[in-house]
Amino acid sequence: MPVLNHANGADYALIALYFGIVMFVGWYSSRKNQTTDDYFKAGGQVPWFLAGVSNWVSGFSAFMFVAAAGFTYKHGLGAIVVFTASTWAYLVGAFYFASRWRRARINSPLEFLTRRYSSSTTYFYTVTAIVPQIIGIGQGLYILCIFVATALGFAHEQHALLGMNFSGLELTMIGIGLVMIAYTVIGGLWAAVLSDAVQGVIILVTSLLILPVTFRYLGNGDLTDGFARLWREAPAGFFGLNGQTGQPLFLLSYAAATMLGYNVAWWQVQRYQSVPDERSARKMALLCAGFSLFGPLLWILPVMGARVIFPNIAEVWPQFAAPEEASFVGLALMLLPHGLIGFVIAAILSATLGQASDGFNWLAATTTRDIYVPLRKRFGQSIPSEQHQMRVGQITMLVIGILGIVAALRIAKTGGAFAFALQYYSLTGPTFMTPVLLGMVYRKTPWWSGLASCIAAVVVAIGLKLLDVFPEYAYERNVLSAIAAATIVFFISAFFYRADDPRSAEARRFDADLRTPVPDEAEQSTAALRDFQMLAMVSVLLGVVLIACVVLPSSPLAPPAINVVAGVILFLIGGLLWRASRAKT
């Protein structure tokens, strides 16, 4: 059985350093927040490159390192078809949705619903989104922490705190959740964007290293022999479409859900609103398309190698409901030296923190601007000041974050994170996002059409689930039935559209805005360029720390020279970021 390392003092120190950097980024970002525009959409001044990195990292999360790794371990090369699907969604976004979201001229993502449909639609979406969002945050935190606590070696230990007993897993969820809440509440969207950029650097370095060390191990020091061994020893069908990756209906459903998620999800809308102009929005989407095409190869190929290295992975990770989901971390714990082990844990931490912080931000923005402020007006009270609105947003983030931690503590194992995530998002994603996409593409329907199509999708999808129709195709059933129901009701409602209806006036103004381009910005702001300098210094700091780890005890499988390679890569990234900070445009 392969011998795995666990985190030691140096790894804990590097994880602590990462948390310190995240908190510093939150403080650094808080100085940028003078208005609610700054807090909720970064004043529309995020450079397109940072917005693109942040956007891609936000869609990554620990799901990719854990749940998607398990899917790849089982299905092999066919996973590429699934996990590069966002490439085509981003390309559609670059040539259609990017410009339109930038032209929407909205201050919070769900303001789209008010402008396109009605304020009642926004209220409905906000109230119904709260519970799914909290569950989603809890699920992501649970997936993350079951890995982190196990990798650190204290998942099942018992600890007393404030007169109560907690397992190591529970304490991990509480600790990580509190850090996630703190930096997001302090810094707003700027904190999410800049911390995502730090996370992107960590994910890139980790992925670049895992690929070669895995195949060098497989080939006894020779990369080419490693790939040849994988070809010889992989299970039959491992290099073709098999299982779910060979089912056309699953691929169609997954592609449809991906197209929705990467074009009209609220976190995506917020990123398009955060850049200065339409050209920047298109560049952001194209950058994400490139990352989504080539990035997954960096972890899909090593996990395929893990199928040969760990042919009986349940013996290595018996405590996991789906042990194949530990394939990526198993490679890291066996083949990387101390220092980089902490770096890998930080990478997986960072991926999920970025995704959850985006959820906090858009829901807080909507609750504040689309619910709290209009309700004050309706009851005859004055419009609250910018500072007052920022405080309401921060309190909302705090409450949502705490509830997310509680949800993580309550979510039980369900036989594997990938299966749970598919079922969860197939019920919550298409039901709410389909009316958003339809309303953006076709704008001559009455004010109630979004509400009606969303309710139809919810009723049909949940009804079919409760009736247990086609249980063997539950994911496909949920996605396609929700999209079909929402689309049918939406276009039936078009027959009731009246352009002279006063309630259609805002939708007509919105339609005019979507046809009016946003002027391009002439140059980047000096403050935005300073952000590149800050990120460059963080990269160099991490590089210095990893090179210093060369003195730590090591093993023949994980030589300390790998830390030096990682440090050099970080220096190069720091140099490129510093050069970007000197750019004039």
Distance CA 332, CA 381 (A): 57
Q: What are the distances in angstroms from CA 198 to CA 26, 446, 514? A: 12, 44, 34
Per residue in 112-122, pLDDT (tens digit) is 999 999 988 98
Distance CA 97, CA 437 (A): 9
Which token pair is 266? 């609220």
Q: How confident is the model at residue 156 (pLDDT cuts 50, 70, 90)?
A: low
- Per the DSSP assignment, residues forming a β-bridge with 159 are 166
Spatial CA neighbour of 134 closest among 430, 402, 429: 402
Average pLDDT for 460-467:
92
Average pLDDT for 311-317:
83
pTM for this entry: 0.81
Which token pair is 374? 């209009």
For residue 265, the 8-state DSSP code is S
Average pLDDT for 401-413:
70
With a pLDDT cut of 70, the percent of the chain lying above it is: 81
Kindly report the average pLDDT of the chain as a whole number: 81
Distance CA 497, CA 493 (A): 7
Question: Is 447 within 8 Å of 503 (Cβ atoms)?
Answer: yes
Helix (H) or strand (E) holding 69: helix 67-75
Q: Is the pLDDT of residue 584 over 60?
A: no
Higher pLDDT, 301 or 407: 301
Distance CA 176, CA 169 (A): 11
Q: How confident is the model at residue 92 (pLDDT cuts 50, 70, 90)?
A: very high
Which token pair is 373? 């402020």
Q: Is the pLDDT of residue 168 over 50?
A: yes
When mean pLDDT is compared across 32-41, 121-130, 404-413, the lowest value belongs to 32-41
Per residue in 534-567, pLDDT (tens digit) is 888 888 988 898 898 888 877 788 888 898 999 9
Distance CA 70, CA 389 (A): 43
Q: Is the pLDDT of residue 22 over 90?
A: no
Per residue in 507-540, pLDDT (tens digit) is 999 999 999 988 776 455 555 667 788 888 888 9
Q: Which SS3 state, helix, strand or coil, does residue 134 take?
A: helix
Question: Is 426 within 8 Å of 457 (Cβ atoms)?
Answer: no
* Max avg pLDDT among 31-45, 183-197, 499-513: 499-513
Which token pair is 233? 């020893």
How many C-beta atoms lie closer than 10 Å to residue 124's C-beta? Answer: 18
Residue 498: predicted pLDDT: 92
Residue 413: predicted pLDDT: 46
Spatial CA neighbour of 404 closest among 186, 133, 161, 22: 133
Higher pLDDT, 495 or 418: 495
Higher pLDDT, 153 or 274: 274
Distance CA 64, CA 35 (A): 35
Per residue in 61-91, pLDDT (tens digit) is 566 777 788 889 988 998 999 889 999 999 9
Residue 585: predicted pLDDT: 43
Which domains, and CATH codes, for the chain? Answer: 9-376+383-419 (1.20.1730.10)
| DSSP collapsed to 3 states, 437-480 | HHHHHCCCCCCCHHHHHHHHHHHHHHHHHHCCCCHHHHHHHHHH
Residue 491: predicted pLDDT: 96
Distance CA 522, CA 364 (A): 31
When mean pLDDT is compared across 167-181, 353-367, 375-389, 446-460, the lowest value belongs to 353-367
Distance CA 376, CA 502 (A): 23
How many C-beta atoms lie closer than 10 Å to residue 85's C-beta? Answer: 20
